[in-house]
């Protein structure tokens, strides 16, 4: 789903000083989505691997990509985002207005908006959802942060509209007010919100839950009675009658299921799989499985080893820098990842370009420097034990892992640590246990990957106020007064270029404070899928990754695939490289 969470956008709007203006000025809901294919047909099914079995499907409680993806299919927000321009457009709200001082936001609900049980979606639903998220008793974590900037909404215009007043000026306020998913009050009111995890009997979006087998799969069924199904800009989207999401604790097991045909589409995150897949899998060589590298406008995320700065030994910046000096990223990229990745220099890679080059220091593998930094931090090698010690205590820490595929990287890292007298204990846990430890910050070091938005908001990950909030994205416990001042400064700036200039200032501080050992990344999406589906020319959306929203079941393609497999014959090759800007022009 391209709308709502991953990309938080602001509207640069000229507002008259004497009167409110109403939006959208030029709605695109009556125009076809330029990505959607006119050949798309409804029907059929697709099976995806979505990750380990989730602890909750309530995105407000879980805040992970699994719950987000499923929740987005079931519930809608007041505003939507145009898939091309990222400008706000209609969804549950038929129109909205902003006051001249950008502090009041009024939304009129579409009278056609309906829940799946036929009841109208009302302003009371909006108020109840706001109250549920902001209720201190509910563990809604980071969702409170954006809504806490707003006063409780009030119902206006004889019950037709809802108005939010901002406590302080912030460029994100319109997105906060219009961007949160609305839940049905008549279904959930009076229930313990923290126990609303897997049963969502009434929805508003294009899909509903059909079947859930704990630890195995969830099946989502398309709603032919979805209230927006006939909008012109929704044609060619959400085509599958059923989407089945398979759960696997281990990604390698999921990949094995994909190779057997039990999963239809599989994004590749492991370089060795991508590099060697033709040699290892006959189905790829014969084009039964399509292998495509897709270059679009998706922002580049962040990967790194997060260090818990709340306690020793990682509460010392010299120690954190030493850890970074002991990871040989270049060797790992060369020997294990076939040089497919670039090495991170920044926490926001896409803030830099040829016109705005990154001036952050380049960190290289340097054991000599690491030993010097550790010595300056008070750590000394004990010649009798061969261990690094401080005040008689050895340097020992735990690495919290949730994925067996990371082990080979940790083994290489551990060898360098041992040579410095440092002991790293690897703790392997399943997703649920790992998530619980992360929510309570019960870790020393762990591997984290973050997606990225086009418009950066550093508050969630780097604000001191979030450092000790359970479940926050400031997992390292980073606290810095100068960064806090920058965060406050950017809140009232509506010019995205000026805000991003401030983020580059924050980035310079982060790269010298080493909350993470920065790793590596790629600037394209690696996709494998069985050659039986119809896809748009771009394969995925302009800003999305791994999205099948525009795909459809192609009976002819599936028949061709089955025939080729029966006769052990190859299928015609599809392009192995897709460049969005070229494909959208065809």
Short-list 140, 74, 130, CA closest to 107: 130
Are 171 and 112 in contact, with CB atoms under 8 Å apart? no
DSSP class of residue 168 equals: S
Give the tens place of pLDDT for each residue, 13-69: 333 223 456 788 789 999 999 999 999 999 999 999 999 999 899 999 987 889 999
pLDDT tens digits along 282-316: 999 999 999 999 999 999 999 999 999 999 999 99
Interval 403-439: pLDDT, tens: 877 888 999 999 999 999 999 999 999 888 998 999 9
Selection from 115, 118, 74, 75 nearest residue 208 by Cα: 74
Q: What is the pLDDT of residue 145?
A: 84
The whole-number pLDDT of residue 272 equals: 80
Q: 234-252 burial, b if ≥16 CB within 10 A, otherwise e?
A: bbbbbbbbbbbbbbbbebe
Q: How far apart are CA 501 and CA 490, in angstroms?
A: 9
As a whole number of Å, the CA-based R_g of the chain is 25
When the pLDDT of each residue in the chain is averaged and rounded to a whole number, the result is 93
Which whole number is the average pLDDT over 209-224?
A: 96
Percent of the chain at pLDDT > 70 equals: 96
Predicted local confidence at residue 136, as pLDDT: 93
HSE of 271 in the Cβ direction (CA atoms, 13 Å)? 17
Q: Domains along the chain?
A: 21-195 (3.90.76.10), 250-296+525-583 (no CATH), 302-521 (3.10.105.10)
The residues pairing with 96 across neighbouring beta strands, listed in sequence order, are 23, 107
* Whole-Å CA distances, 465 to 29, 151, 236, 238, 474: 39, 20, 44, 39, 9
Would you state the pLDDT for residue 530?
98
Q: Where are the alpha helices (DSSP H) in 243-304?
A: 251-259, 271-280, 282-285
Q: Where are the beta strands (DSSP E) in 91-215?
A: 93-98, 104-109, 154-156, 161-165, 207-213
Residue pLDDT, tens place only, 5-22 = 333 333 333 332 234 567
What residues contact 240, with CB distance under 8 A and at least 6 apart? Answer: 43, 44, 45, 46, 222, 548, 551, 552, 553
CA 485 to chain centroid: 26
Task: For residue 126, give the H/E element and its range.
Answer: helix 123-134
What's the average model confidence in pLDDT over 178-197? Answer: 97
Rounded CA separation 291/529 (Å):
7
């Amino acid at each position: 789903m391209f709308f709502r969470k991953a990309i938080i956008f602001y509207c640069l709007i000229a507002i008259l000083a004497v009167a409110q203006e109403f939006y959208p000025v030029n709605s695109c809901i009556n125009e076809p989505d330029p990505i959607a294919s006119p050949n798309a047909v409804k029907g059929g099914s697709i099976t995806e691997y979505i990750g380990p079995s989730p602890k909750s499907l309530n995105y407000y409680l879980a805040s992970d990509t699994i719950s987000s993806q499923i929740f987005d299919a079931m519930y809608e927000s007041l505003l939507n985002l145009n898939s091309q321009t990222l400008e706000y457009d209609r969804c549950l709200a038929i129109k909205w207005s902003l006051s001249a001082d950008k502090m009041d936001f009024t939304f009129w609900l579409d009278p056609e908006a309906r829940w799946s049980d036929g009841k109208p979606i009302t302003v009371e639903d909006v108020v109840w959802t706001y109250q549920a998220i902001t209720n201190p008793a509910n563990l809604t974590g980071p969702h409170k942060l954006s809504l806490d900037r707003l006063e409780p909404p009030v119902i206006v215009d004889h019950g037709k509209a809802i108005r939010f007043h901002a406590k302080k000026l912030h460029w994100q306020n319109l997105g906060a007010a219009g961007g949160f998913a609305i839940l049905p009050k008549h279904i959930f009111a009076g229930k313990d919100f923290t126990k609303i995890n897997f049963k969502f009997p009434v929805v508003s979006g294009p899909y509903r839950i059909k079947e859930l087998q704990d630890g195995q799969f969830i099946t989502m069924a398309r709603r032919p009675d979805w209230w927006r199904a006939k909008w012109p800009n929704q044609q060619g989207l959400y085509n599958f009658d059923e989407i089945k999401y398979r759960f696997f604790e281990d990604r390698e097991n999921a990949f094995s299921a994909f190779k057997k045909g039990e999963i239809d589409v599989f994004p590749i995150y492991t370089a060795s799989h991508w590099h060697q897949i033709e040699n290892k899998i006959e189905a790829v060589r014969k084009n039964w499985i399509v292998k495509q590298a897709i270059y679009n406008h998706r922002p580049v995320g962040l990967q790194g080893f997060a260090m818990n700065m709340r306690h020793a030994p990682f509460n010392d910046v010299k120690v954190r820098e030493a850890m970074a000096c002991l990871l040989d990223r270049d060797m790992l990229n060369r020997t294990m990842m076939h040089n497919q990745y670039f090495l991170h220099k920044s926490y926001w890679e896409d803030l830099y370009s040829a016109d705005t080059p990154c001036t952050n220091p380049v960190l290289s593998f340097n054991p000599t420097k690491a030993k010097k930094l550790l010595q300056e931090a008070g750590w000394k090698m004990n010649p009798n034990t061969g261990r690094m010690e401080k005040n008689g205590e050895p340097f020992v820490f735990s690495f919290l892992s949730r994925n067996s595929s990371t082990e080979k990287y940790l083994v290489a890292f551990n060898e360098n640590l041992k040579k410095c007298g440092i002991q790293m204990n690897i703790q392997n846990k399943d997703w649920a246990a790992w998530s619980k430890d992360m929510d309570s910050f019960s870790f020393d070091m762990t591997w984290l990957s973050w997606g990225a938005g086009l418009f950066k908001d550093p508050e969630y990950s780097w604000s001191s106020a979030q450092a000790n909030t359970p479940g926050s994205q400031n997992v390292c416990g980073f606290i810095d007064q100068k960064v806090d001042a920058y965060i406050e400064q950017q809140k009232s700036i509506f010019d995205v270029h000026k805000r991003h200039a401030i983020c580059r200032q924050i980035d310079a501080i982060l790269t010298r404070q080493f909350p993470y050992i920065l790793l590596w990344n790629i600037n394209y999406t690696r996709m494998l899928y069985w050659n039986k589906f119809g896809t748009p020319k771009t394969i995925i959306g302009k800003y999305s990754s791994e999205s099948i929203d525009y795909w459809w079941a192609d009976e002819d393609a599936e028949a061709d695939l089955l025939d080729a497999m029966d006769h052990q014959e190859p299928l015609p090759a599809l392009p192995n490289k897709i460049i969005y800007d070229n494909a959208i022009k065809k």
